[in-house]
Structure 1
Amino acid sequence: MTAIGLLATDLPAAAQGGNAASYPNAPVKLIVPYTAGGVTDIMGRLFAEQAGKRLGQPVIIENKTGANGTLGGVQMLSADPAGYSLTMLPIGTFRMPHITGAQFNPLKDFTYISVISGFNYYIAVNSNSPWMNMSDLIAYAKKSNGAVSYGTPGANSSQHIGMAQLGVQAKADWTHVPFKGDADAISALLGNHIQAVVSSSSILPYVNSGKIRVLASLGDVRSPDLPNAPTLKEQGFPIVHTSPMGIAGPKGMDPTVVKKLETAFREAYKDPEYQAGLKKLGMSAIYMNAADYTKYATETFNGEREALKSMGVEVK
């Protein structure tokens, strides 16, 4: 039975011992903090399949949805540090504690292992709109005094923060409309209920069919999926949001176990099948080892606090 076919409840608790030398001697559970069938879930299952081959044990996906993708982090607070319970961590892990006072502290409560992918984000408009580039939309927003509304998958998401930062830097006045996900925001755009969206790769089929026009990407470099779409940096706005997706475990993991996981994850990341899957899903090929991910976590946790403060959000 493959990792995809197993259930998290199949994990034998007694086998999750603390012998680092023989690790792993049982299946490893990996929490995906989003719904089954979504882009992150599909990516997680592709990665789990490849990682399981390297570890010699199945990597079993468990979906934990809600709380802006932070429920996996919450689960790590009570997880055994033997290395048999891991979670994906989205960038919201470093943002939500400043907003909601999350149960966990990202600087103390996790063992960071690897970053294995990232999201590309795009600012886009309906193809029947008059705005052909970012300058057009900004000029209209300045002139129309708040008449431009844009949709995102939720308040305080990377998409929301990126567009709010752009509004401050460009001195453009626009209105945020949060939706439950990319699909709802895109539907509203196509129905001309909003003027723009900030979306992930969910937007690509509509761009390819000519229904939606992309004005900018939020990456550090242009997306390979839309090489003609300039970044905000290229257009004079130093705003970058790529939202790396990483894997971590509970605090206190044995360094030998961490090294075994890091090695297996690096090999899984490099696997041609996984790389092809990322490309098909429109995701970025981003990798960090344990040391780099730990450093990134600290810098991002502090940086997210400052970004929220700059938006006028009351932070904890």
Structure 2
Amino acid sequence: MSKSISCFGAVLGLGLALCSVAAPAAEAQAAFPNKRVTIVVPYSAGGITDTLARTLAAKLATLWGQPVVVENRDGAGTIIGTSAVARTPADGYTLLFTSYAYTSNPVLRRQLPYGPDAFRPVGLMGSSHNVLLVTNRLRGQSLQSLIDRAKADPGALKLASSGPGSSPHLAAELFATKAGIRFTHVPYKGQGPSMTDLMAGVVDGMFDGMSSYSLVQAGKVAAVAIASEQRHPGAPEIPTFRELGMDFVSGSWFGMLAPAATPDAVVQQINADMRRVVDNPAVRAQIAKTGMLVSLSTPEAFGQFLQAETNKLQALVKSGVRIELN
């Protein structure tokens, strides 16, 4: 009897020991995610960055079996939302889905509330080229006639943007430099509010991605030219600036980042699941409606892309192009 109890005690002891070893290991290998994930978009609701983030969030929630919430924290040229994510725990549960201003802000602003190494790349989702859009009262105006009007009355041309340092803002500054004109920059907190005022005729024009093409088709705004190497397959009637005599290419990108110390395994999983989402034909069709060209990259390739974008902007500033942020 005592021998049986002794054997049972040994087995029980071994079992408890194994459990005590297995418990921490199970915690360490717990599947990500096991709770809600928040994707912060540093732009207002309604723009292409927000739309893409929400498309991605809905599908990731299905894959993960956990809520994936998009939180718009716009303002200060994306600095408010970006700095908020920089302060969160680096565990993958708070992510940043952002765009062009992420690379332009460190080059164009003297100080930022987060350091240059505050984030690590997760994945580039795609890119979009800028289109010069004008209000309907300027419908029918050629590119040259707009330039002539701006030269005749310097500063009278009012071009909106989704915020200081955004891709539309820099596109307008580059356009003005190449055209030899002056314009008045009217910044907004996101693409949605700026487009509303463009349709209302409050501003004369703005640069925006192909996400606004449906408004062109609906006759709410007019497209003058697209700043790409060749015409967009979804809008072949819009000429490129190069066709109209101006060597001008400009666009934006959209991608996911995480706080710098986020574990490699978590970053790689999020990237792989982003790929699973965009590889879905139905999702690709939905994204195509925004005019964005899908090109999901690895975290490493995205990092190289971001560095190249930074280098290009730094070279532009060094060349003498002056860009003032409000």
Give the TM-score, by structure 1 length. 0.79
Q: Does 1:70 align with 2:79?
A: yes
Match of 1:163 in 2: 172
User: Which of 22, 29, 40 pairs up with 2:49?
Assistant: 40
1:90 to 86, 91, 99: 99
2:15 equivalent in structure 1: none
**Is the CA contact (8 Å cut-off) linking 1:162 and 1:239 kept in structure 2?**
no
Which amino acid in 1 is paired with 2:105? M
Over aligned residue pairs, what C-alpha RMSD do you find? 3.1
Greater per-residue helix proportion: 2
What letter is aligned with 1:296?
A: F
Name the CA shift for 1:114/1:233 in 2 (closer, same or farther; >3 Å): farther
Deviation at 1:96, TM superposition (A): 1.9
Shift of 1:123: 0.7
Greater mean deviation of Cα atoms: 259-268 or 118-127: 118-127
Q: Distance in 1 between matches of 2:291 and 2:159?
A: 22
The more displaced of 192-201 and 265-274 is: 192-201
Identical columns (%)? 25
User: Which residue does 1:109 correspond to in 2?
Assistant: 118
Question: In structure 2, which of residues 278, 285, 288 is the aligned counterpart of residue 279 of structure 1?
Answer: 288
Q: Are the equivalent residues in 2 in contact too, given 1:32–1:44 (CA < 8 A)?
A: yes
Find the counterpart in structure 2 of residue 26 from structure 1.
35
Distance change in 2, residues 1:110/1:188 (3 Å): closer
Q: Distance in 2 between matches of 1:155 and 1:179?
A: 8
* Residues 1:242 and 2:266 are matched in the alignment: no
Tell me what 1:260 maps to.
269
- CA gap of 1:80–1:189, structure 2 versus 1, over 3 A, is closer
Residue 98 of structure 2 contacts residue 254 of structure 2 at CA under 8 Å; is this kept in 1?
Answer: yes
* Equivalent pair of 1:72/1:88 in contact (CA under 8 Å): no
Q: TM-score, normalised by structure 2?
A: 0.77
Task: Name structure 1 gaps, 5 residues minimum.
Answer: 1-16
Query: Structure 1's 236 and 296: CA in aligned 2 closer, same or farther, altered over 3 A?
Result: farther
Do the aligned partners of residues 129 and 242 (structure 1) sit closer, same or farther apart at CA in structure 2, a change above 3 Å counting? Answer: closer
State the alpha-carbon separation in 1 of the partners of residues 71 and 133 from structure 2. 33
Deviates more, 1:184-193 or 1:55-64: 184-193
> Is residue 68 of structure 2 the alignment partner of residue 59 of structure 1?
yes
Q: In the TM superposition, what is the alpha-carbon distance from 1:166 to its structure 2 partner?
A: 1.7
Counterpart amino acid of residue 230 in structure 1: P
The letter for the 2-side match of 1:311 is V
- Matches of 2:198 and 2:38 in 1, distance apart? 38
Q: State the 1:214 CA deviation.
A: 1.0
Q: Which amino acid aligns with 2:50?
A: D
Extract structure 1 runs of 4+ deviating beyond 6 A: none
Q: Contact 1:20–1:254 (CA<8 Å) still a contact in 2?
A: no
2: CA distance, partners of 1:132 / 1:88: 36
Match of 1:296 in 2: 305
1:174 and 2:183 are equivalent in the alignment: yes
- Which of 310, 314, 323 is residue 313 of structure 1 equivalent to? 323
Aligned pair count reads 298
What is the CA-CA distance between 1:262 and the residue it aligns to? 1.3
Distance 1:188 1:83, change over 3 A: closer
Q: Whole-Å Cα distance in 2 between the matches of residues 61 and 146 of structure 1?
A: 38
Partners of 1:138 and 1:257 in 2: CA distance? 50
Amino acid at match of 1:60: V
The Cα shift of 1:244 comes to: 0.8
User: 1:258 Cα deviation (Å)?
Assistant: 1.9
Cα distance in structure 2, aligned partners of 1:190 and 1:57: 39
C-alpha separation between the residues in 2 aligned to 1:242 and 1:228? 19
The superposition leaves residues 5-58 of structure 1 with CA deviations (integer Å, 9 ceiling, x where unpaired) of xxxxxxxxxxxx983573333333222223345443332121112223344544
Aligned position for 2:21: none
